[in-house]
Amino acid sequence: MQQYDLVIIGGGPAGLAAAISAKDSGIDNILILERDDSLGGILNQCIHNGFGLHTFKEELTGPEYAQKFIDMVEEKRITYKLKTMVLSLTKDKIITAVNGEDGILEIKAKAVILAMGCRERPRGAINIPGSRCAGIYTAGAAQKFVNIDGYMPGKEVVILGSGDIGLIMARRMTLEGAKVKAVVEVMPYSGGLKRNIVQCLDDFCIPLKLSHTVIDVKGKDRVEGVVIAMVDENRRPIEGTEEYITCDTLLLSVGLVPENELSRNAEISLSPVTGGPMVNESMQTNMEGVFACGNVLHVHDLVDYVTLESYNAGINAAKYIKGKEFKENKIEIMAVEGVRYTVPKYVNPENIDKSIDVRFRVGDVYKDKYISVYFDENREIHSKKRVLAPGEMETVKLTKAMFEKYDGCKTITIKVEGE
Amino acid sequence: MKKELTCIGCPIGCSLEVDLEDNNVIKVTGNVCKRGADYAVKECTNPTRIVTSSVVVENGEIDVVPVKTENDIPKDKIFDVVNELRNVKVKAPINVGDIIVENICGTSVNIIATRKVESSL
């Protein structure tokens, strides 16, 4: 059996950043396991710009952002294996993986970082009725066809879901000569960033149909069209509002789910809200020495935050390898009244140097409301927000001083308040 | 003439109304901050975009390489640029930042590669 101090599962933005910070924290014996044929993860197919505004103060494309981290991994001589699929992780931190060169690999690690990312919800997850014909893809699969393989998956396109990948693909397909007939969104607001609505849809006069959904797919061998309808406040189609749109392709951009089969089988506690591991301030899961970061934890809209979170995971994994124990989770963070979840979920103030960033999402669109943070019964933060939306991740900073002020605090509560 | 825009300066996404006279911005309303006004003036007088696309690679480990305009180009040139890129072929190896097309469509902006592609030979 091979032995490593730190094994990182996944070589995307999270895994790369975690590897770099662990190395900088003095850990030399690191292995990254990546199932694709190159490092960089999803960034390789995200060829549009807008990445790294926070980290590098410039607007990079996905591959450029990834390349900066890949170069650092190479410079620091961090080892990695490509085309290597991890099959299992045990409680003793034994990893079983497989690739075409080594066959089955068994690796014992002192610490493990989970950085497997997320995957797209497919058609089956949203139960669209209709024909099971060719021409229905997730937006990310279409993005890979166009941007990595150089194939166009269709000519006349309807996109269901207005998440960022759907919006980006509406523009990309248009630029490559396809006609995008509509982006259909079941919610009364888009799940994507404002700038993507303007630059991907408005720029090309692509209609965004809010409060609409696809209720039927027509076609035998290939998609020939879809029926869309308006929905009521309970997201049920309203009779009489049906509209038929001819198209040969339906792209689905209907959400992302953290990919946690490995974590589940290793009996790592997962959040019922995010589907990702419930971690503490040090990014450690309920299994000692197993850390998590990036989209495997909760789905991010900005890669910059993935990078920051992953640096934190790498630093703490290094501390663990050198003998630090993170001890019990003294405080639980409760997400209530409009706040859906928080990362981290638990805090032990002893492990905080200066401050921690708590990230979360709200469940609805709110205007002129406050984000409040309570240490037990005491409101410590009360900050006004002009707009809160499910598509934009929020952050609150909790400082060492706050934890000292409320020494012995058992619960931190974060909520949306009127005033 | 009046023009309606959505500001992209921040998540609020103000609905802007712009009064135009001979392509000059007379008044911007609907914005809650100065960024909205600046954005409206730029969008109405000289809208520009960074364009990202991909071109075919010969002898590469992958078949297409992602590219972008080195700087932003006038919005109305977007389709000219992507149409010209459709006919471009490049040979691997390619590095991030390599110039793929100089002065694309007379914009005096270069098209540069955004991914490293090793040769397959």
Q: What is the pLDDT of residues B61-115, one digit of tens each?
A: 889 999 999 988 999 999 999 999 999 999 989 999 999 999 999 899 999 999 9
pLDDT, residue B11, reads 61
> CB within 8 A of A41, min separation 6: which ones?
A10, A11, A12, A13, A14, A15, A34, A66, A117
CA separation (Å) from B16 to A388, B34, B57? Answer: 20, 12, 43
Give the predicted TM-score (pTM) of the model.
Answer: 0.90
Q: CB burial class (10 A; 0-12, 13-18, 19+) of residue A94? A: middle
**pLDDT (tens digit, 9 = 90+) per residue, A122-147?**
888 888 888 889 999 999 999 999 99
- Across the interface, whether the CB atoms of B78 and A195 are under 8 A apart is answered no
Task: Give the containing element (helix H, strand E) for B26.
Answer: strand B24-29
Measured between beta carbons, which residues in chain B are less than 8 angstroms from residue A49?
50, 52, 68
Please name the residue of chain B whose CA is at the shortest distance from the CA of residue A63.
B115
pLDDT, residue B10, reads 67
Whether the pLDDT of residue B37 is over 90: the answer is no
- Across the interface, whether the CB atoms of B79 and A175 are under 8 A apart is answered yes
Above 0.85 for ipTM, yes or no?
Answer: yes
Q: Are A273 and A289 in contact (CB under 8 A)?
A: no
Which of B114, B116, B118, B120 to mutate: most A Cβ within 10 Å? B114
Please choose, from the candidates A108, A106, A115, A114, the residue with its C-alpha nearest in 3D space to the C-alpha of residue A93: A108
Which of A51, A189, A198 to mutate: most B Cβ within 10 Å? A198
A384–B contact, CB cutoff 8 A: no
> CB within 8 A of A32, min separation 6: which ones?
A7, A8, A10, A11, A15, A16, A19, A39, A73, A78, A79, A80, A81
Whether the pLDDT of residue B12 is over 70: the answer is no
A63–B contact, CB cutoff 8 A: yes
What would the two tokens of residue A365 be? 């669109």
The more confidently predicted of residues B32 and B102 is: B102
CA A14 remoteness from chain centre: 10
The whole-chain average pLDDT of chain B stands at: 89
Q: How close B58 gets to chain A, by Cα (Å)?
A: 12
- Across the interface, whether the CB atoms of A194 and B49 are under 8 A apart is answered no
Low-confidence ranges of chain A (pLDDT < 50): none
What would the two tokens of residue A112 be? 């493990």
Hey, is B12 helix, strand or coil?
Answer: coil
CA distance B42 to B7: 11
According to DSSP, the β-strands at B2-6 and A378-388 are unpaired
Q: Are A75 and A98 in contact (CB under 8 A)?
A: no
Q: CB burial class (10 A; 0-12, 13-18, 19+) of residue A140? A: buried
Whether the pLDDT of residue B20 is over 90: the answer is no
Output the CA torsion sign for B15, B20, B25, B29. Answer: negative
pLDDT, residue B14, reads 80
Cα A159-A162-A164 angle, rounded to 5 deg: 110
